[in-house]
Structure 1
Amino acid sequence: MRSLIILCLLSITCFKPMEAQSDVVKKRDSINKIYVGTYTRKEGHVDGKAEGIYLLNQDPQTGNLEFVCTAAQLINPSFVKVGKMGKYVYAVSELGPKDGDSGVVHSFEIQEDGSLKNIGKLGTGGFAPCHIALDRSGKYAFVSNYMGGIVMVYKIGSDGSLGKSQELKLENSDSAHAHSVKISGDNRYAYIADLGNDKIWIYRFNIMTGQLEPHKEKSIELEKGAGPRHISFAKNGSFLYSINELNSTVSAFSVKSDGSLNHLQNISALPETYRQGNSAADIHIHPSGKFLYTSNRGHNSIAIFQINSETGKLTHVDYIPVAGKTPRNFAISPYGKYLYAASQDTGNITTYKINEETGKLKPQEPVFQIKTPVCLEFVK
């Protein structure tokens, strides 16, 4: 009995208890939930036709998707993020100056049937909020506003609600387009992709106060006209990668012990023979840490790169077309078996089986039809 009590106490105090092999297998076999962010109305860059946030089921064995319901109705939930414990969902309403004082971020509690109960909303301090990130503890949320150069930091309450912690205005805010925030693996540094100023801003993150504090390096500048959009870290945290929207490249950096960045490489996200218009969109690294994927709007493809684990540099593997137009965000399923690409302008999601040895993608049938999908978020 005493040993059983000790074992229970250890499992309570561990950050992430070890799982029995049978539990891991059950998780691999269980149905996964995906929340889909969408556009609900016509904007300058999109003809939104959706109703709000959709809920899908994913079969982890076949990769097939199944529509469940409209989980929440709201305007332009173009980015959604599931909270750390899988109990809450956060979503922006991508609103402009004609809609009110600012954009909005919503908090939802996930119900037993997967529907979302709204538990609060707050202004984002700027317009066209386009990205939500969480710190590694899951206690803070960061919302990037494309218009206004403002990043908002929110404290996440025990009930999932948000409370304002900080309003950060980037330098050169008139030209800034804050597109995303990424927190380092040790939770000490924040990196802000500023598409308008071709910079990645570097901040120290104080988890005790919930504040972003200026880093001595301030920022690293990318090529003029690059347009950094989203950021991913290598599995070991030693390298950082930026997908650059405007010149369709990936920039690779090594991460120093003090959080500053050293530029390693720029590599095209397009085939050499492609000469038409394109804007790069999303970036994700496979759970194995071996492969990096990006999406292309215009070329309408997923680009695949292999990561050199020692140098951090990338090499091209393949380009695979999507069965649609304007693939914006995409998602890799838990355990890395499938990749799903959401095509905004043709209203569909392409499913790919991932070859975990080569990183290559094999399209699966059928192509899943859904209105104006732009963001895919698994509940993990």
Structure 2
Amino acid sequence: MLIFVKKQINIVNILLSFFLILFTLRCAPSKLNGACDPESENFLFSALLEFGSSDGKFLCPLFSGNTPLRLDYGTDFLVFKQDEPIGNLKPFISEPIDHCESTPQLPSGVILNNNNCEISGTPSVGLNATKYLITAKNQNKQITTPLVIKSLFIPKFVFVANLGSGLINSFTIDANTGVLNASGAVAAGGGPESMALSPNQKFLTVANRNTNNINQFLINQTNGSLTLVETVLSGGNTPISVNYHPTKDLIYIRNTDNFSTFSVNPLTGNLVLINTIPMAYAAGESLVDHFGNFLYDPFYNGNLIESYQIDRITGLLSPNPIQVIPSDIRPKRMAFHANGKTLYVSHDTGSNISTYQIDSNTGLMSSVFPQTPSSGVVSGSIATDPLGRFMYKTNRDTNTVSMFATNAVTGELSPLPPNTIPTGTEPLGITVDPSGKFLYNTNIASGTVGIFSINQSNGSLTTNGTAPTSTSPAVIVTAGSNP
């Protein structure tokens, strides 16, 4: 028994000696020269903190020559208002620089300070979302930061497609009140289902569901009246959606049996069919992302959303989807958040709104938020404001518009209080003007356009009357202008 106890004591002494040696080594003077000493066990942790920080303060002097140059505007997406001065936007730069430049050059009226990358000025033109590469450099280092900039157009025209009559109504917008004044009507084909504006706001393209053709109209930049350029076959059967490429002279038509791609003459607006891809299932309203890299298509009968690659050189669609993701029942209408990183989907027979995060490099979608409930069961359409603050949805069975705030970074939806405002009978189409000041909706059973002012602080809507249309107004778009 005594021998056993002695053995235990010896084992304990050996263990104590081992831990004492380890503790002595850990506290050796050569390792206590501070967190900036490469011999210190905390040196690696200091390096990780330094390279992960963004305040430009060096924890250790020796890091000052090794850390990468940093350039940060606090966001990767800026929205300016045409003819309104920009408050000086001075970025964080981790150390002095010698030169700053942008590729391409910033929009007309917007100034980049070549010494400190500060952005200022007064935008003189409207501009769709465009990616700029801001490069800062000094003798030893260089950093390039992508920055998306949008300059809002001045609101000018509203166009309404009427399913019953096949007419397209034109209106001018009072830029101060949002009130509409009729400026004429022209005949389209049968059952105009979708409309799209060219990026330069010169042409209006109408897809006619019942007559399998496309109308191309030239927009009078003074009064918004429309002149027919030509009518062409849609390249398939039952065209239900039309989208412009944001930077190339191309449009994509979603027929029920295929995608057809047309080239657009930028001077005359004339269309030429250049490609078709078979697609044999019922779809809703397809949508092209802000930069023309991906197209998203709701599989109406399959309760799915598909994404397709757009060739960055030719602009042609890939024949196979890069992703298919589940959605709620009968997805039909879609809208992007202003930053292009969030996609909202409404459903034809459900009140929920689906929110998908978009990887702008791969086009892949991910669903990170639960379905957002909305008033009504029979959804109409959805629209977002161009500054990325609010989202709105028409509800056909409750004769209301639902109102939501959107998170500027994640796009997450939050119902506004109150969540709805009354409209005319059976609201269907919806749009926000290019300045983000006014909202318009079509009331298909009332034969009117609802006019609303948007509270710029909280997104709530205030009604400002209606304007009469032709029979069964369904689709509505707003156009802006440049001086």
Change (3 A) 1:138 1:283: farther
Give per-residue Cα distances to partners, 1:321-343, cap 9 Å, x unaligned.
44312211111122111111110
Q: Output aligned runs, 1:219-234, within 5 Å.
A: 219-223=324-328, 226-234=329-337
Structure 2: distance between partners of 1:90 and 1:239: 26
Equivalent residue number for residue 384 of structure 2:
285
Q: Does 1:120 align with 2:230?
A: yes
Structure 1 position 180, deviation (Å): 1.9
User: Does residue 1:37 correspond to 2:128, yes or no?
Assistant: no
Cα gap change, 1:51/1:247 in structure 2, threshold over 3 Å: closer, same or farther?
closer
Residue 157 (structure 1) aligns with: 265
The 1:105–1:207 alpha-carbon spacing in structure 2 relative to 1, beyond 3 Å, is farther
2:443 is the counterpart of 1:340: no
Please tell me whether the aligned partners of residues 191 and 202 of structure 1 are also in contact (alpha carbons under 8 angstroms): yes
- Is the 1:189–1:203 contact (alpha carbons within 8 Å) kept by the matching residues of 2? yes
Would you say 1:209 and 2:314 are equivalent positions? yes
1:22 CA displacement: 8.7
Equivalent position of 1:239 in the other structure: 342
Question: Which residue of 364, 376, 379 maps to 2:476?
Answer: 376
C-alpha displacement at 1:258, in angstroms? Answer: 1.3
* Unpaired runs of at least 5, structure 1: 1-12, 40-47
More moved, 210-219 vs 303-312: 210-219
Counterparts in 2 of 1:319 and 1:238: CA distance versus 1, 3 Å? same
State how far apart, in whole Å, the 2-side matches of 1:169 and 1:291 are: 36
The Cα offsets for residues 222-249 of structure 1, whole Å up to 9 and x where unpaired, read as 13xx211122222222222111222222
Of the candidates 293, 301, 304, which is equivalent to residue 403 of structure 2? Answer: 304
Match of 1:110 among 208, 219, 230: 219
Contact 2:453 2:463 in 1 (8 A): yes
- Could you say which residue in structure 2 is the equivalent of 1:182? 287
Q: Does 1:263 align with 2:363?
A: no
- Counterpart of 2:260, as a letter, is M
Q: Structure 1 CA distance, aligned partners of 2:231 and 2:434?
A: 29
* Distance in 2 (alpha carbons) for counterparts of 1:216 and 1:118: 35
Relative contact order: is structure 1 or structure 2 higher (C-alpha 8 Å, sep ≥ 6)? 1
TM-score, normalization by structure 2: 0.64
In the alignment, which residue of structure 2 is the partner of 1:194?
A: 299
Structure holding more strand per residue: 1
What residue in structure 2 maps to residue 56 of structure 1? Answer: 171
For the residues of structure 1 that align with 2:125 and 2:263, how far apart are their CA atoms?
32
SS at match of 2:345: strand
Aligned residue number for residue 166 of structure 1: 275
C-alpha distance in 1 between matches for 2:409 and 2:166: 46
Q: Give the superposition deviation at 1:298.
A: 0.9
Match of 2:203 in 1: 88
Q: Deviations over 1:192-229 (max 9, x none)?
A: 12212211111110143332115674311213xx2111
Contact map agreement 2:171 2:224 (CA 8 A) in 1: no
The residue type paired with residue 243 of structure 1 is: S
Task: Tell me the residue number matched to 1:17.
Answer: 108
Matches of 1:164 and 1:195, distance apart in 2: 26
CA distance in 1 between counterparts of 2:373 and 2:263 reads: 36
Give the partner amino acid of 1:35: F
Equivalent residue, structure 2, for 1:44: none
Aligned residues: 339
1:268 deviates by 4.0
Q: Distance in 2 between matches of 1:283 and 1:333?
A: 13
Q: CA RMSD in A?
A: 2.7
The whole-number CA distance in structure 1 between the counterparts of 2:259 and 2:321 is: 19
Q: Distance in 1 between matches of 2:187 and 2:433?
A: 23
Q: Which residue of the partner structure matches residue 33 of structure 2?
A: none
Whole-angstrom distance in 2 between the partners of 1:35 and 1:229: 21
Name the stretch that deviates more: 14-23 or 343-352: 14-23
Q: Classify the secondary structure of the residue corresponding to 2:435.
A: helix
Q: Distance in 1 between matches of 2:454 and 2:419?
A: 13
Structure 1 residues 258 and 56 mapped into 2: Cα distance closer, same or farther (>3 Å)?
A: same
Question: 2:60 — aligned with what?
Answer: none
Residue 251 (structure 1) shift:
0.8
Secondary structure of 2:224's aligned partner: coil
Quickly say closer, same or farther: Cα 1:266–1:134, change in 2 above 3 A. farther
For residue 192 of structure 1, what is the amino acid of its counterpart? D
Match of 1:187, SS state, is coil
Q: Give me the whole-angstrom Cα distance separating, in 2, the residues matched to 1:154 and 1:287.
A: 27
Distance of aligned partners of 1:32 and 1:312 in 2 relative to their CA distance in 1, 3 Å threshold: closer
Partner residue of 1:356?
456
**Structure 1 pair 73–252 and aligned structure 2 pair: CA distance change class (3 A):** closer
The answer to whether the 8 Å contact 2:154/2:435 transfers is no
Counterpart Cα distance in 1 of 2:404 and 2:398: 16
CA distance in 1, matches of 2:324, 2:347: 16
* Distance in 2 of aligned mates of 1:334 and 1:309: 18
Are 1:326 and 2:457 counterparts? no
TM-score, reference length from structure 1: 0.81
Q: Distance in 2 between matches of 1:22 and 1:150?
A: 40
Distance verdict in 2 for CA 1:259–1:24, change over 3 Å: closer
Whose Rg is larger?
2
Provide the C-alpha distance between the structure 1 equivalents of 2:175 and 2:310, rounded to a whole number of angstroms.
Answer: 36
Counterparts in 2 of 1:188 and 1:93: CA distance versus 1, 3 Å: same
CA 1:28–1:185: 2 relative to 1, 3 Å: closer
Question: Following TM superposition, by how much is the alpha carbon of 1:361 offset from its aligned partner in structure 2, in angstroms?
Answer: 0.9
Gapped runs of 5+ residues in structure 2?
Answer: 1-103, 111-120, 127-150
